[in-house]
Structure 1
Amino acid sequence: MNSKKEDRELPAQSGRVADILDPNNQIGIRLRSLYAAVQEEVIPDRFLDLLEKLDHVERLATVQTGKE
């Protein structure tokens, strides 16, 4: 009776092991880790300044286009 329960658990356990060893799963784990690390990085001031300048130029273009 006990062996039947063990037989039912083995495929699930071996399935989990196969998932861990699957190269696609490994790539997914590493990509998620990299993405999480990038999310935590601080945005450099120089990049923020460039974005601010771009917003300013876009606002000016919108105003000039609206007046014409």
Structure 2
Amino acid sequence: MKSNTLAADEGRNQPAKKGDPLGPNSEIGRKLKQYYDDLVSEEVPDRFADLLRQLDERSQPQSARDGE
């Protein structure tokens, strides 16, 4: 059991490669970035966009809605 702990500690203490700022977590970082990029590139559903527009209209002062 002790050898497993030492092996895990050695993996954590290894310096990160110069081109890899995440070190041993680089694969996780790449997958998270890919997921985020995919999510951001999706279009907002029409119903959700309508709800946001309605919220914006209600949160504006009355004079701004009248065009003054």
**TM-score, normalising length: structure 1:** 0.53
Superposed CA RMSD: 2.7
1:37 corresponds to 2:41? no
- For 1:38, give the aligned amino acid: L
RCO comparison, higher one (Cα < 8 Å, 6+): 2
Count of paired positions: 46
CA–CA distance in structure 2, aligned partners of residues 20 and 57 of structure 1 = 44
Gaps of 5+ in 2: 1-16, 64-68
Match of 1:35, SS? helix
User: Larger radius of gyration, structure 1 or 2?
Assistant: 1
1:63 corresponds to 2:65? no
CA–CA distance in structure 2, aligned partners of residues 45 and 36 of structure 1 = 21
1:11 is matched with which residue?
none
> Where does structure 1 differ by over 3 angstroms across 4 or more consecutive aligned residues?
18-21
The percentage of aligned residue pairs carrying the same residue is 33
